Amino acid sequence: MNSSYRKPARSRLSPLCCCWPQAAHRRHGRRRTGTFTGRGLGDFGVVMRAYADHLADQWCDRGHVLLVLEGELDTELRDGGTFKLTAGMSYQVSDFGDDAHRSSTRKGAKLFIVD
């Protein structure tokens, strides 16, 4: 980590904490094998997603930070690039549509996303 970068996040966090196991879940994805739990926090939101056998139902061009907590996630960029993330890996994409992407997994994945 670059210790010279220390820009603080600014948002009105309410509530301060989230108990993810107690939060409401809903299903999503082309195969409906993903669960989604999220919270809006002012200018941004945090999301916990868990996928079994999953294929995203659309391209995403929103900016966010995604961290793989468990499993493997395959990501395809609209420009044709592909990459695999495993537990402990992340990607960061902008809000400008330059990194439109969609993800899939055969083995399952648990993700934490800030967008």
What are 78-91's pLDDT values in tens digits? 899 999 999 999 99
82 lies in a domain? yes
What are 25-77's pLDDT values in tens digits? 666 555 555 666 766 666 778 888 888 888 887 888 888 899 999 999 999 99
78 lies in a domain? yes
104 lies in a domain? yes
**Number of structural domains found in the chain:** 1
106 lies in a domain? yes
Largest CA distance in the chain: 44
Of the chain, the end-to-end C-alpha distance in Å amounts to: 21
8 lies in a domain? no
Cα(90)–Cα(67) distance, integer angstroms: 4
Contact criterion met (CB below 8 Å) for 87 and 79: no
22 lies in a domain? no
Cα(115)–Cα(52) distance, integer angstroms: 22
Domain region containing 101: 42-114
Alpha carbon 66 to its chain's center: 4
Tokens representing 19? Answer: 């108990």
Q: What pTM does this model have?
A: 0.74
The two beta strands, 64-77 and 90-93, are antiparallel
103 lies in a domain? yes
4 lies in a domain? no
Place of tokens 């820009």: 7
Alpha carbon 77 to its chain's center: 15
Here the CATH number for the domain that contains residue 80 is 2.60.120.10
